């Protein structure tokens, strides 16, 4: 069981909260869609870990990522003019480059060039990949950016979508690695599917097995079926906020999904989905469907007073949840828990083993960080993420080893 004190340690990420400091210092994260930051156009506000930033794209095409507040008097740089590869604050005309250098201080009468050298501006390393701008928010030298296989795929083989939700970041992580809900929450979708994903409805009682890895763990959700075979869906948990989900269809060349729960502040997150295929273009129909149906930055349709747009009429007609889109089911139950779940009040069962392991690993890592140690999962000089793939398939029997399923 998680105590209230441990729950606070797990969930709080703003200010000097140890978890937030650890995540900022040791891990890169996706911040914003690349297409939202256009060359020469207005800077875009981004909020992460309770801090306010701006992202902009200069004339050279490179992205700058700065604190939103101008270092002079704190005016918002979201209002700034984009000039070449710099921002010019509207208030007093200070010009700041994407590298965080103050280039001009037009209101300083005494040797402005020398004065400009004394001003420190917070700017942050960025990298683009999978249609996203990734950023590192720590102090000192940035670690290498994560080298997942989706980072260097061409645009036709990868795309990203995200939604802002009124829930703590850990709720997003836990929703991602919990396989036991698939056959229950998503009944309306599994009942219409002839895939192994659909066949999870044959047995809602999940048995878990795990492989511990340097980056986190592999969680195999195993379901015995009436014909004696066993359905295995293997989720990859990659510290601290990645979940890689098994494809709906078994076999090679399948579209794949990675989900990343990024903290906006203590009570809000962005749930990013990366859809990718290392071998061929991703399914164009699914891509269009996501673009048309997801409310993205606007959040969920409706609010608590309307049960987030739940439609009881379609429930009466046979839909299990009253939601038209499978991912909305995940989002709504996550938000319905409240902004921060009091995990000390839960009654967990054996199907929650993956949840328990995530919490345990995060607690171990953040306590080590508080003791001045680098988290094991952040010691990336000897670690590659490129070959991490979630898999699924049907085994001949429950006694077969799920590790034989090829990645």
Residues 232-285: pLDDT tens digits? 889 999 999 999 998 876 667 889 999 999 999 999 999 999 999 999 998 876
Question: What's residue 296's pLDDT?
Answer: 53
Whether 299 is covered by a domain: the verdict is yes
Q: Residue 359 has what pLDDT? A: 97
Question: CA 238 to CA 243: how far, in whole Å?
Answer: 6
Structure confidence at residue 276 (pLDDT): 95
Residues 62-96: pLDDT tens digits? 999 999 999 999 999 999 999 999 999 999 999 99
Residues 164 and 298 in one domain: yes
Residue 202 pLDDT grade (very low, low, confident, very high; cuts 50, 70, 90): low
Tell me: do 223 and 366 sit in the same domain: yes
Task: Name residues whose C-beta falls within 8 Å of residue 393's C-beta, 6 or more positions apart in sequence.
Answer: 196, 231, 232, 250, 405
pLDDT at residue 224, rounded to an integer: 86
Look up the CATH number of the domain holding residue 185. Answer: 3.90.380
Distance, in Å, from the CA atom of 233 to the CA atom of 236, rounded to the nearest integer, reads: 10
**Domain identity same for 60 and 106:** yes
Query: Within 10 A of 360 (CB to CB), how many other CB atoms are there?
Result: 12
3-state helix, strand, coil in the chain (%, to 5): 30, 25, 45
Rounded average pLDDT over 21-33: 97
Give the model's pLDDT for residue 231.
Answer: 86
Give CA–CA dist 294/304, Å, rounded: 18
> If we measure between CA atoms, which residue out of 93, 33, 43, 39 comes closest to residue 67?
43
Q: What percent of the chain has pLDDT over 90?
A: 72
Same domain, 219 and 97: no
Q: What local confidence, expressed as pLDDT, does residue 380 receive?
A: 64
Q: Within this chain, do residues 208 and 158 fall inside the same structural domain, yes or no? A: yes
Is pLDDT of 210 > 90? yes
The answer to whether 262 touches 169, Cβ cutoff 8 Å, is: yes
Domain assignment present for 18: no
Asked whether residue 103 falls in the same domain as residue 167, the answer is no
**Contact at 8 Å (CB) between 24 and 112?**
no
6, 82, 3, 113: which is closest to 370 by C-alpha?
A: 6
pLDDT at position 218 over 70:
yes
Residue 237 lies in a domain: yes
- Asked if 105 and 237 sit in the same domain, the reply is no
Measure the CA–CA gap between 197 and 390, rounded to whole angstroms.
Answer: 13
Domain range for 325 = 149-404
Q: Is the pTM of this model over 0.85?
A: yes
Same domain, 84 and 201: no
List the CATH number of the domain containing 114: 2.102.10.10
My answer on whether 332 and 290 are in the same domain is yes
What pLDDT digit, counting tens, does each position of 155-198 carry? 999 999 999 999 999 999 999 999 888 878 888 776 665 555 55
pLDDT grade for 399, boundaries at 50, 70 and 90: confident
d(CA 67, CA 175): 31
pLDDT of residue 297: 52
Instruction: Spell out the residues 6+ positions from residue 357 whose beta carbon is closer than 8 angstroms to its own.
Output: 210, 217, 219, 237
Counting the structural domains of the chain, the total is 2
Rounded to whole angstroms, the Cα distance separating 234 from 391 reads 5
Query: Do 115 and 210 fall within a single domain?
Result: no
In a domain, 6, yes or no: no
Of 80, 101, 135, which one is at a domain's C-terminal end?
Answer: 135
112 vs 70: CA distance, rounded Å = 17
Residue 407 half-sphere exposure toward CB, CA atoms < 13 A: 13
The pLDDT-based confidence of 301 (bands split at 50, 70, 90) is confident
Are residues 214 and 326 both part of a single domain?
Answer: yes
């Amino acid at each position: 069981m998680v105590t209230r004190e441990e729950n606070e340690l797990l969930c709080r990420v703003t200010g000097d909260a140890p978890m937030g400091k650890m995540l900022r210092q040791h891990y890169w994260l996706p911040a914003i869609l690349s297409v939202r930051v256009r060359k020469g156009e207005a800077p875009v506000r981004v909020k992460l870990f309770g801090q306010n930033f701006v992202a902009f794209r200069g004339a050279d095409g490179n992205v700058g990522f700065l604190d939103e507040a101008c270092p002079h008097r704190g005016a918002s740089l979201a209002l700034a003019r984009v000039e070449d590869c710099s921002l010019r604050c509207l208030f007093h005309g200070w010009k700041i480059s994407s590298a965080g250098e103050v280039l001009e201080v037009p209101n300083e009468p005494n040797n402005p060039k020398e004065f400009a050298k004394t001003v420190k501006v917070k700017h942050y390393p960025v990298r683009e990949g999978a249609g996203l701008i990734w950023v590192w928010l720590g102090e000192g030298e940035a670690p290498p950016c994560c080298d997942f296989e989706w980072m260097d795929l061409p645009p036709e083989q990868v795309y990203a979508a995200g939604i802002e939700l009124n829930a703590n970041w850990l709720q997003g992580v836990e929703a991602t690695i919990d396989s036991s809900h698939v056959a229950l929450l998503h009944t309306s979708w599994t009942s219409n599917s002839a895939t192994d994903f659909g066949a999870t409805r044959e047995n809602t009682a999940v048995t878990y097995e795990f492989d511990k890895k340097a980056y986190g763990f592999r969680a195999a959700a195993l379901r015995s079926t009436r014909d004696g075979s066993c359905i295995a869906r293997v989720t990859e948990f990659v510290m601290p906020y990645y979940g890689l989900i098994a494809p709906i269809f078994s076999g090679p060349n399948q579209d794949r999904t990675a989900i990343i729960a990024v903290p906006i502040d203590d009570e809000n997150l962005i749930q990013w989905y990366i859809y990718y295929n290392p071998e061929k273009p991703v399914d164009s129909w699914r891509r269009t469907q996501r673009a048309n149906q997801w409310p993205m930055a606007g959040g969920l349709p409706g609010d608590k007073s309307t049960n987030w747009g739940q439609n009881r009429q379609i429930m009466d007609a046979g839909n299990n949840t009253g939601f038209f889109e499978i991912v909305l089911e995940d989002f709504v139950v996550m938000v319905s828990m409240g902004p921060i779940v009091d995990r000390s009040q839960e009654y967990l069962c054996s199907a929650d083993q993956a949840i328990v392991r995530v919490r345990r690993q995060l607690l171990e890592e953040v306590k080590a960080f508080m003791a001045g140690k680098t988290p094991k999962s952040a010691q990336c000089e000897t670690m590659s993420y490129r070959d991490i793939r979630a898999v699924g398939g049907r085994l001949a029997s429950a006694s077969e080893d799920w590790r034989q399923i090829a990645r």
